[in-house]
A and B are shown apart, each in its own frame.
Chain A
Amino acid sequence: MVVTDTWYLVLSALLFTIGFVGLLVRRNPLIMFMCVELMLNAVNITFVTFANALDDVAGRTAVFFVLVVAAAEVVVGLALVVALMRRRPLLSADDLTALRG
Chain B
Amino acid sequence: MIDVITFLITGAIVLGGGIGVIVLSNPVRAALSLVASFFGVAVLFIMQQAHFLAFVQVVVYAGAIVVLFLFVIMLLGVDRHEDIRAEPLAGQRPAAGLLGLMVLALILGGLFLSGPGGDDGAVALTGTKSRTAPISQLSESDSDITVLAQDLFTRNIVAVQATALLLTIATVGAVVFVRNKGGEDVVIDDPGTARR
Chain A positions within 8 Å of B, measured between CB atoms, are 1-11, 13-22, 24-28, 30-31, 33-35, 37-38, 41, 44-45, 48-58, 60-61, 63-65, 67-76, 78-90, 94-95, 97-98
Give the interface size bracket for B toward A. 35 or more
Chain B positions within 8 Å of A, measured between CB atoms, are 1, 3-4, 7, 11, 14-15, 18-19, 21-22, 27, 30-31, 34, 37-38, 41, 44-45, 47-50, 53, 56-57, 60-61, 64-65, 68-69, 72-73, 75-78, 82, 84, 88-89, 92-93, 95-97, 99-101, 103-104, 107-108, 111, 118, 120-122, 125, 127-136, 144, 147-148, 151-152, 155-156, 159, 163, 166-167, 169-171, 173-175, 177-178, 185-189, 191, 194
Decide: A45 and B68 in contact? CB cutoff 8 A: no
Decide: A13 and B159 in contact? CB cutoff 8 A: no
Q: Which residues of chain B have C-beta atoms less than 8 A from A50's C-beta?
A: 125
Decide: A52 and B188 in contact? CB cutoff 8 A: no
Question: Interface SS of chain A: helix, strand, loop or mixed?
Answer: helix
Q: Which residues of chain A have C-beta atoms less than 8 A from B75's C-beta?
A: 82
